């Protein structure tokens, strides 16, 4: 029997902001598919995790939203039903094995993350859920639970909050006490008054400047620019002592880890080309800033949605050492922040990203590469090893696809129990695994040796 109109609960709707719209353009071509993966040694209790996800969707209404596209006026909306909708899709041992066979020779956990980052859930936006979940059986004692989210609804800060709350709920803990009552506003609607203002002529000059500068950017060498692409992961890991030395080196100079990671990436890229000592290369670095604390009103760190902004800086590289380039990189970032470029240039960068998607031929070799490297202003810190042991958590990772428009290497850095662990995402086969493993290994050597040289200089 059909429900009467009075008994049907309403579905809320909100149009997307400019930044969210850009992600709706980017995700179908391969950039902005966020994945959160858990590798477990104990078989997951699907009903328990299903219930935890429903609690998450109740606490954060945007996580139960559907993306709706209206072709008549080319607009997108978040349509939020009143009740949770996510269902975990289980994959048994044979079906998981079939997926793994199609993912070359990657280790199983990474292979499943690769698979999830190339799922084209949002290619045709017709009320598509922003959150999907799957449970995989890798072997009799290895299992994976992976969430796949649309980046317009979940940036890295929100993804970290989702992962932490899911682990608490799965471990029998309490949920989020500070629940959101409804879907929050877009970032553009929360920027403090006057912070986003830019004269029309200045905006035009900046867009032109970004476009012309992009023609001068150097890129990491392309291996295969013609074949279809997917996102792949290489990990950069450091032990406790190496991480401690690196953080101490940054702190002593008044810079952040992001600057050291970006500098190591630029130096490794420059060195990989075996250039003469005098030949400079101009590299672009994108630094992503979580703006929640800078908005009006201020948002809590776990507020669902996309509230990051990007700072694009360029640097000439010609044989500098780690700390010289890291200092220069961080100074440029700080100056841009002081000038509010994370707000004033937001629409410019969104516009250029959409234009690159629509016209890939405007980028070198139609690669859609807009920068060499992207980093986050602050790393994620996690010191919850005891809770992880309770639920059999062997490993976990959070990252997003970047094989559409974006950098050659996107770094998602976490400091787990004192150890640096970076998920480095790259577009394959535009760059090969051997190429990227070599680059990331070189980055680590640059970071470790830079800290060792400093310690030797300090010793009497």
Tell me, what CATH number does 386's domain have? 3.30.559.30
Give the model's pLDDT for residue 125: 62
Mean pLDDT over 380-394 rounds to 78
Mean pLDDT over 83-91 rounds to 93
Q: Are residues 104 and 192 in the same domain?
A: no
Q: Are residues 258 and 133 in the same domain?
A: no
- Structure confidence by residue, pLDDT tens digits, 104-162: 778 999 999 999 999 877 876 678 899 999 999 999 999 999 999 999 999 999 999 99
Q: How many domains does the chain have?
A: 2
Q: Are residues 286 and 348 in the same domain?
A: yes
CA distance 39 to 4: 45
- Confidence band (pLDDT; 50, 70, 90) for 5? very low
1 within a domain of the structure (yes/no): no
In eight-state DSSP terms, residue 177 is: S
Q: Are residues 242 and 115 in the same domain?
A: no
CA distance 283 to 174: 46
Mean pLDDT over 95-102 rounds to 92
Higher pLDDT, 204 or 280: 280
Give the model's pLDDT for residue 1: 40
182 within a domain of the structure (yes/no): no
Q: Are residues 119 and 18 in the same domain?
A: yes
Q: Are residues 153 and 227 in the same domain?
A: no
Angle value at C-alpha 446, between 239 and 426, nearest 5 degrees:
85
* Residue 200: pLDDT over 70: no
Q: What percent of the chain has pLDDT over 70?
A: 89
In whole numbers, what is the pLDDT of the chain averaged over residues? 89
Least confident segment among 167-171, 210-214, 325-329, 445-449: 210-214
- Helix ranges (H only) for 118-224 are 156-170, 200-214
* Residue 207: pLDDT over 80: no
Render the burial of 394-422: b for 16+ CB within 10 Å, e for the rest: bbbbbbbbbbbbbbbbbbbbbbbeeebbb
Task: Measure CA of the first residue to CA of the last residue in the chain; give whole Å.
Answer: 85
Most confident of 195-204, 206-215, 266-275: 266-275
Q: Are residues 110 and 222 in the same domain?
A: no
181 within a domain of the structure (yes/no): no
Phi, psi of 180 (to 5 degrees): -85, 140
Give the model's pLDDT for residue 284: 95
Q: Are residues 74 and 216 in the same domain?
A: no
Q: Are residues 289 and 321 in the same domain?
A: yes
Least confident segment among 244-248, 259-263, 359-363: 359-363
Chain centroid to CA 353: how far? 16
Range of the domain at 408: 188-458
Q: Are residues 149 and 235 in the same domain?
A: no
CA distance 188 to 350: 12
* Residue 415: pLDDT over 90: yes
Q: Of 170, 197, 222, which residue is a domain's last? A: 170
Q: Which residues contact 200 (CB under 8 A, 6 or more apart)?
A: none
176 within a domain of the structure (yes/no): no
- Confidence band (pLDDT; 50, 70, 90) for 211? low
316 within a domain of the structure (yes/no): yes
CA distance 10 to 12: 6
77 within a domain of the structure (yes/no): yes
200 within a domain of the structure (yes/no): yes
183 within a domain of the structure (yes/no): no
In eight-state DSSP terms, residue 278 is: T
* Residue 6: pLDDT over 50: no
Render the burial of 261-293: b for 16+ CB within 10 Å, e for the rest: bbbbbbbbbbeeeeeeeeeebebbbbbbbbbbe
Among left, alpha and beta (phi > 0; psi -120 to 50; other), residue 194 is left
Q: Of 136, 170, 204, which residue is a domain's last? A: 170
Q: Are residues 403 and 297 in the same domain?
A: yes
Higher pLDDT, 247 or 71: 247
Let me know: does 353 contact 314? Beta carbons within 8 Å. no
- Confidence band (pLDDT; 50, 70, 90) for 387? low
Task: Find the CATH number of the domain harbouring 94.
Answer: 3.30.559.10
CA distance 448 to 436: 18
Q: Are residues 13 and 153 in the same domain?
A: yes
Mean pLDDT over 189-211 rounds to 70
Give the model's pLDDT for residue 122: 83
* Residue 89: pLDDT over 90: yes
Provide the 10 A C-beta neighbour count for residue 136.
29
* Residue 315: pLDDT over 50: yes
- Structure confidence by residue, pLDDT tens digits, 268-314: 999 999 888 889 999 999 999 999 999 999 999 999 999 999 999 99
Q: Which residues contact 308 (CB under 8 A, 6 or more apart)?
A: 155, 156, 157, 288, 289, 290, 291
């Amino acid at each position: 029997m059909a429900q009467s109109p009075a008994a049907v609960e309403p579905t809320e709707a909100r149009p997307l902001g400019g930044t969210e719209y850009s992600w709706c353009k980017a995700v179908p071509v391969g950039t902005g598919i966020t994945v959160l993966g858990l590798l477990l040694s104990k078989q997951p209790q699907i009903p328990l995790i299903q219930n935890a996800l429903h609690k998450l969707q109740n606490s954060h209404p945007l996580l139960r939203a559907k993306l709706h596209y209206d072709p008549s006026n080319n607009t997108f909306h978040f349509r939020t039903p009143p009740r949770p909708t996510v269902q975990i899709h289980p994959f048994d041992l044979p079906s998981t094995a079939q997926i793994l066979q199609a993912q070359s020779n990657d280790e199983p956990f990474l292979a499943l993350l690769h698979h999830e980052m190339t799922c084209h859930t949002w290619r045709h936006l017709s009320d598509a859920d922003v959150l999907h979940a799957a449970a995989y059986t890798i072997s009799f004692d290895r299992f994976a639970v992976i969430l796949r989210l649309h980046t317009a609804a979940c940036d890295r800060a929100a993804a970290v909050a989702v992962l932490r709350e899911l682990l608490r709920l799965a471990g029998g803990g309490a949920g989020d006490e500070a629940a959101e009552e409804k879907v929050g506003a877009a970032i553009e609607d929360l920027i403090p008054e006057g912070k986003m203002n830019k004269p029309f002529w200045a905006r035009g000059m900046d867009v032109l400047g970004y476009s012309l500068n992009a023609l001068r950017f150097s890129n990491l060498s392309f291996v295969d620019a013609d074949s279809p692409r997917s996102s792949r992961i290489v990990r950069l890991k450091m032990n406790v002592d190496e991480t401690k030395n690196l953080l101490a080196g940054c702190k002593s100079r008044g810079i952040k880890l992001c600057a050291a990671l970006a500098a190591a990436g630029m130096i490794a890229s420059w060195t990989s080309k075996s250039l003469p000592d005098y030949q400079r290369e101009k590299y672009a670095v994108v630094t992503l800033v979580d703006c929640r604390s800078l908005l009006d009103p201020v948002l809590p760190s776990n507020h669902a949605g996309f509230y990051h902004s990007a700072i694009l800086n360029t640097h000439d590289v010609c044989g500098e050492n780690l700390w010289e380039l890291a200092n220069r990189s961080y100074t440029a970032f700080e100056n841009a922040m002081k000038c509010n470029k994370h707000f004033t240039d937001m629409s410019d960068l969104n516009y250029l990203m959409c234009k690159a998607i629509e016209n890939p031929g405007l980028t070198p070799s139609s690669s859609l590469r807009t920068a060499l490297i992207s980093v986050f202003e602050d790393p994620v810190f996690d010191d919850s090893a005891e809770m992880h042991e309770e639920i059999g958590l062997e490993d976990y990772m959070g990252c997003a696809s970047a094989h559409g428009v974006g950098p050659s290497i996107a770094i998602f850095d976490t400091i787990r129990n004192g150890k640096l662990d970076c998920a480095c995402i790259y577009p394959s086969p535009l760059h090969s695994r051997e190429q990227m493993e070599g680059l990331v290994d070189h980055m680590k050597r640059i970071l470790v040796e830079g800290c060792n040289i400093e310690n030797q200089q300090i010793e009497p």
